[in-house]
Amino acid sequence: MGGPALAQSILIEDEDSFLNFPISENDEDFGGFVVLDSAAVLNANSPLSNLLPTRDGLLVYKIQAGDTLSKIAANFGISLNTILLANPDLRANLIRPGQEIVVLPISGVLHQVQEDETPESIASLYGVDVSQILKYNRNLSAATFVIPGAKVKKTTVAISTSQLPDLRGYFILPTTGWNWGRLHPTNAVDIANACGTPIYAAAEGLIISAPSYGWNDGYGHYVDIEHPNGVLTRYAHTSQNAVSAGDYVSQGDLIAYIGNTGNTHGPTGCHLHFEIRGARNPFVK
pLDDT at 31 over 60: no
| Of the listed ranges 11-25, 64-78, 158-172, 198-212, the one predicted with least confidence | 11-25
> What's the pLDDT tens digit per position in 36-95?
333 333 333 333 455 655 545 577 888 888 888 888 888 888 888 788 778 877 765 578
Q: Does domain 171-277 have CATH number 2.70.70.10?
A: yes
pLDDT at 235 over 80: yes
Q: What's the one-letter identity of residue 111?
A: H
Residue span(s) of the chain under CATH 3.10.350.10 come to: 4-148
Secondary structure class of 262 (helix, strand, coil): coil
Confidence of residue 150 (pLDDT cuts 50, 70, 90): confident
Secondary structure class of 285 (helix, strand, coil): coil
- To the question of pTM greater than 0.75 for the whole model, the response is no
pLDDT at 173 over 90: yes
Q: Does domain 4-148 have CATH number 3.10.350.10?
A: yes
Task: Provide the pLDDT for residue 205.
Answer: 93
Q: How far apart are CA 200 and CA 173, in angstroms?
A: 8
Cα dihedral 164, 190, 70, 155 sign = positive
Q: Which has more pLDDT, 249 or 138?
A: 249
Q: Which residues contact 279 (CB under 8 A, 6 or more apart)?
A: 164, 165, 166, 167, 170, 229, 231
Residue span(s) of the chain under CATH 2.70.70.10 come to: 171-277
Segment 177-193 mean pLDDT: 90
